[in-house]
Amino acid sequence: MGPMNTLNSASLVNKGLEVIETHLLFGIPYDRIDVVVHPQSIIHSMVTFIDGSTIAQASPPDMKLPISLALGWPRRVSGAAAACDFHTASSWEFEPLDTDVFPAVELARQAGVAGGCMTAVYNAANEEAAAAFLAGRIGFPAIVGIIADVLHAADQWAVEPATVDDVLDAQRWARERAQRAVSGMASVAIASTAKPGAAGRHASTLERS
């Protein structure tokens, strides 16, 4: 997946971004989008309807499938990826997301609810913090801490942008703020050894109609 995608999966920032995407693409209110932990990585999204029924999108974890669907839409590419094998005994488990351990999803939700350019601020802050971790300048837990710090100081960006330049300005501000936070952490932790902490687990997005 590449180092950035792998890191976002570990912090669950990727799920935070998917919550934002779900809201923007389908108009689902943020309070009706849930994230659950699914260790088997088979169910990628679910939609629960008003009658209580749930439709799930299930497939083995293979990026060939979403890529082929994007390239071939609205048609599906035959044999793009292996299908689920329902003749082999298996179980699918779902666990509630521990937001204390993985606060990145709730931060994304808060940014989305705040509106304006806040989701752009969230993304830019993560990119800067993740780059600092990959460069060995900060520890893994500091990534989400920096995102939170930047968001908490970004009230001026919770207004709808009038132009694309407004969004770019918000991103630029967020990157500069994140870089200052990284510099402050690096100066006090220069003698410490960064440890990445627990790896992320696959999470599925659940939409409720």
106 Cβ neighbours under 8 A, 6+ residues apart? 99
pLDDT recorded at residue 88: 92
CA–CA distance from 90 to each of 58, 86, 87 (Å)? 14, 8, 9
Question: What is the model's pLDDT at position 205?
Answer: 63
pLDDT confidence of residue 204: 64
Domains of the chain with bracketed CATH: 3-33+98-199 (1.10.1740.10), 36-96 (no CATH)
Selection from 202, 169, 206 nearest residue 46 by Cα = 206
pTM, full prediction = 0.85
Amino acid at position 11, single letter? S
Residues near 149 by beta carbon (within 8 Å), at least 6 away in sequence: 177, 178, 181
**Cβ proximity of 116 and 160 under 8 Å:** yes
Q: pLDDT by residue for the chain (209 residues), tens digit each?
A: 689 999 999 999 999 999 999 999 999 999 999 999 999 999 999 999 999 999 999 999 999 999 999 999 999 999 999 999 999 999 999 999 999 999 999 999 999 999 999 999 999 999 999 999 999 999 999 999 999 999 999 999 999 999 999 999 999 999 999 999 999 986 555 444 444 444 445 666 666 65
Q: Two tokens at 172?
A: 């630029």
Amino acid 181: pLDDT:
97
| Residue 199 confidence (pLDDT) | 41
**How much is the pLDDT for 188?**
55
Give the per-residue pLDDT at 186: 66
Which pLDDT does position 198 carry in this prediction?
42
Neighbours of 191 (CB within 10 A): 5
Q: The sheet that has 43-48: what strands, in order across it?
A: 54-58, 43-48, 203-208, 33-37, 95-96
